Structure 1
Amino acid sequence: MTDILWTAIFVQMMMGAFDTFYHHEGTERLAWRPSQHMELRLHGVRNLAYAVMFAMLGWSEPQGLWAAGLIALMAGELLITLWDFVEEDRTRHLPGTERVTHTLLTLNYGVILALLIPWLFEGASAPTALKPAFHGPMSWLCAIAAIGVIISGLRDLAAAARCKRLVDTEAASLAAVLTARKSVLVTGGTGFVGRRLVDALVSAGHEVIVLTRNRKAAQGALGPVRIVTSLDEISDDARIDAVVNLAGEPISDSPWTRDKRIRIVRSRLDVTREVLRLIARLDRKPEVLVSGSAIGWYGLRGDQPLTESNLGTPCFSRRICVSWERAAKRAEAMGVRTVLLRTGLVLDRHGGMLARLLAPFEFGLGGRFGDGRHWMSWIHRDDLVRLIAHAIAEPGLSGPVNGTAPGPVTNRHFVRALGKVLHRPALVPIPGWPLRLVLGGFAEELLLSGQRVYPDAAMRSGFVFHYATIEEALCKIVGNDPAPHGVAARSANHRQLAGV
């Protein structure tokens, strides 16, 4: 085997590792997408085939039937790759970097075949034997690669088997409280919460208008909705029964540089002002504006239990929320009932912080942030969508409404619960000082501090959480659905409310 061939094999190892960790486990999170069950099976089988190839090439010189078998295995891998290409194009939109990586992997594999097959054909003519061989550092790299793809292959096959348990609640049921047909304008409809809200409203038979800056992306992600890139496209005589304003620069996807802080605040205020201008010129005003906010409004309050009646302490998160709420409240002067939805940590496997934690926790690398004593006020994404529908339907609900479940938990409790539902230890803590050093205020306010918030207004208005405890929510998210919703959730709600 030549140096050129070993170089091609090494490049294949590195590109494959990058594709697995960056795309499959990172940006795409394939293991938690039920739609990719066939792709996961193909990846699992292909990785196990690679394990055999790496082990044989690194530590032996196959001859006779062993060489013929390796040729057949490599040909089979090529067929699996072609099948995988078809499956990927059929079931998901690949990001540009993944398409480029897959193309390079295929071209490089062609180089490996062109260099290796003649050598294997020559070996196939010899008597059958698997002669031991050692190729220096490449033998050890092949051993490491074989172990890695075995682990990855078994993980993919297990994830494919789990897909049948990852069943989302029927979207229409989340908007069941809206019995009369509504026309709803949603800003931020392509976001993590907005997509699920739009799906729920459309599935329940409501008319939905989505404001987005990227019409093409929205058309691919959303169902039968009207898409506008500017609210100026909506005529003065349009009927809009409710506005849900969720648009804004993501707050937790990158460190808070000066430019990032400006974008976070400005994006929210600009869209809210556009919504207010639309409301002002509509012949028939909407019945309600549900405007996004966050529990960062309360500032950093340690262990203090907080409801909508509490005041806040200064920090950047509070500054965002105060400005956002102040702008939205101007709708009240136009006779529009206004709900200020102070959302906590939204949990689901489809996005948000939890989606980024699932892979490291599943590999046993999860643990608390800092000392783990800070509070995490959370809500299952489906409960948040139901709460938004409830806010639209309930005429007596206005002002601040905490979008959090009635069971806030400490970070220690959260990581233990997540480790338990994944059947993994959660013993790898992330110290606070490197997070503060690298991420600054982002880490201090979002990762190492929190608020102990209770949904007083929502519960007093009659809203019942389907996921009142962190254990219920996480079990549903990872496919270990516990007892049905209903009496247990309702009693948990009341127990938590009694403790506020």
Structure 2
Amino acid sequence: MTDLIWALVFVQVALGGFDTLYHHELTERLAWRPSQSRELRLHGVRNLAYAVMFAALGWSRPQGGLAIALMILMLGELAITLWDFVEEDRTRKLPASERVTHTLLTLNYGVVLALVLPLLGQWARLPTGLAAAFYGPWSWLCAVAAAGVVVFGVRDLAAARRVRRIAPAEAAPLAVALGARRAVLVTGGTGFIGRRLVEALVAAGHEVTVLTRSAASAAGLPAPIRIVTSLAQLADETRLDAIVNLAGEPISDGIWTGAKRRRILRSRLRVTRDVIKLIARLRERPDVLVSGSAIGWYGLQEDEALDETSAGRDCFSRTLCLRWERAATAAEALGVRVVRLRIGLVLAAEGGMLSRMLTPFEFGLGGPFGAGRHWMSWIHRDDLVRLIVHAMATPSMAGPVNGTAPAPVRNGAFAAALGRALNRPAILPAPAAPLRLALGDFAEELLLSGQRVLPAAAAAHGFRFAYPHLDEALAAIVGAPAGRVTPAAAPVQARLA
């Protein structure tokens, strides 16, 4: 084995590691997508094949029949990889970076085969056996690479079985409270929350219009829907019974630089003001506007239990929510009922905060943020969709409504519950100081501080949560047996009942 061959082998390792970590884990989160069960099985088999190859080439010289077996394994790995690429094209839309990476992987592996197979052919003429070999640093790198692909291979095979248990619940029952066919406009309908809401409304037989910046991003939404890229495309005689306003620049996908803060604020205000202009010119105005906000309205709080009558404390999140809600309330002067939905931490495997936590926790690398004492006011995404529908369907519901489950928990308890759901330890905290240093106010407001928010308005208007406690919600999301309700949660539920 020459240095050139080893260099090409580790180019393959680097490209494969990038593809796995960046695309499969961070971007696509394949291990939590029910549609990718076959792709995960292919990844698992391929990774275990790589492990055998790295161990055999890095620490031995296979001869005779063993060399022939390794040649067959390497050619089989090529066939599995090509099958995997076809499966990926068939089941999901690949980003350009993944397509480029796949091309480079295929070309580089072809060169590796062209150099290694003749060498194995020479070894195949020798008596069958496994001679020990050591190639210095290359052997140690092979050991590390083999261990890595074994870990991911075993995990992917396990995930392929797990994803069959985590298929989302039927969407139509989430919108049953809305009753007869209604015409609903959803802004932000291609987002994490909006996509599930649109799915529920369409499945229940409602007439749905989605506002999105790019029609291409709505390609995966269920039919039939109407897609617009500007509210100006809706004529004055358009019939809308309800509007749900969820659009805005994502708040948790980057450091809060001055430019980022301005984009976050401007995007929400612009869309909300456009919604008000649309309402003003419609010949028949909608009955209700459910406008998104967030529990950041209450600012950074400590242990005080907060409901819709509580005051807030100044911070960027509060300023954002105050101005966002103020823009939405302009619809009241036009005779439209306005519900200001203050959304908590929305839980689902497909996106949001939890989706970023699943991979490190699954590998036993999770734990609380900082001291883990701050409160996390969470809600299962399906419960949030049901609450939005409930708000549309309940004429007496107006003003601020907290979109949180009735049993908030401290961050340390959240980490422990997620560890239980995944059957993993959750004991590795993320220290507060580095988070503050790297992320500034973003870390302070979203990762290291929180609010203990209770859904008093939802309870007062008869809303019942399908997932009132965290263990139940996480068990449903990750496909694990439901755990025990935490003792701290039961009194909160009792007070709201």
Kindly provide the CA deviation profile for residues 317-339 of structure 1, in whole angstroms up to 9, marking residues without a partner as x. 00000000000000000000000
Aligned residues of 1:190 and 1:218 also touching (Cα < 8 A): yes
Contact 2:345 2:376 (C-alpha < 8 Å) held by counterparts: yes
Q: What residue is the counterpart of 1:230 in the other structure?
A: 230
1:496 equivalent to 2:483? Answer no
SS in 1 for 2:219: helix
- Cα RMSD for the two superposed structures: 1.5
Partner of 2:165: 165
Residues 1:62 and 2:62 aligned together: yes
Map Cα deviations across residues 28-71 of structure 1 (whole Å, 9 max, x no partner). 11111111000000000011111111011001111110111011
Give the partner amino acid of 1:336: V
Can you list the C-alpha shifts for 1:133-178, whole angstroms capped at 9, x where unaligned? 1111101111111111111110100000111111211000100111
Q: How many angstroms apart in 2 are the aligned matches of 1:36 and 1:221?
A: 18
Q: What residue in structure 2 maps to residue 352 of structure 1?
A: 352
Question: How is 1:320-469 mapped onto 2 (pairs within 5 angstroms)?
Answer: 320-469=320-469
List gaps (5 residues or longer) in structure 1: none
CA distance in 2, matches of 1:336, 1:46: 57
State how far apart, in whole Å, the 2-side matches of 1:255 and 1:26 are: 18
Q: Please say if residues 189 and 211 of structure 1, whose CA atoms lie closer than 8 Å, have aligned partners that are also in contact.
A: yes
For 1:244, the equivalent position in structure 2 comes to: 244
- The whole-number CA distance in structure 1 between the counterparts of 2:220 and 2:424 is 36
Please, which runs of 5 or more residues in structure 2 have no aligned partner? none
Work out whether 1:184 is the aligned partner of 2:184. Answer: yes
Equivalent positions of 1:116-265 (< 5 A) are: 116-265=116-265
SS state at 1:61 partner: strand
Task: Write the distance in 1 (CA, Å) between the matches of 2:181 and 2:220.
Answer: 25
TM-score, normalising length: structure 1? 0.97
Which residue is equivalent to 1:49? 49
Percent same amino acid at aligned positions? 66
Q: Which amino acid aligns with 1:440?
A: G
> Structure 1 residues 154 and 469, CA, compared in 2 at 3 Å: closer, same or farther?
same
Rounded Cα–Cα distance in structure 1 between residues aligned with 2:466 and 2:97: 39
Q: Within 1, Cα distance between the matches of 2:438 and 2:22?
A: 21
Describe the superposition over 1:242-296 as per-residue Cα deviations: whole angstroms up to 9, x where unpaired: 0000000000010100000000100000000100000000000000000000011
Q: What residue number does 1:114 align with?
A: 114
Paired AA for residue 498 in structure 1: R
DSSP 3-state at the match of 2:227:
strand
Moved more, 474-483 or 154-163: 474-483
Provide the C-alpha distance between the structure 1 equivalents of 2:181 and 2:198, rounded to a whole number of angstroms.
14
| Contact 2:422–2:480 under 8 Å retained in 1 | no
Q: Which amino acid aligns with 2:495?
A: A
Partner amino acid, structure 1, of 2:428: V
Q: SS at 2:209's partner residue?
A: strand
2: CA distance between counterparts of 1:284 and 1:338? 16
Cα deviations across residues 422-458 of structure 1 (Å, max 9, x unaligned)? 1111110011111111111111111111000000000
How many aligned residue pairs are there?
Answer: 494
Give the equivalent residue in structure 2 for 1:31.
Answer: 31
CA distance in 1, matches of 2:62, 2:6: 16
* Contact 1:456–1:497 under 8 Å retained in 2: no
- TM-fit CA distance, 1:499: 6.8
Tell me which residue corresponds to 1:270. 270
Asked if structure 2 preserves the Cα contact closer than 8 Å seen for 1:239 and 1:284, the reply is yes
Q: Distance in 2 between matches of 1:46 and 1:103?
A: 17
TM-score by length of 2: 0.97
SS of the aligned residue for 1:220 comes to coil
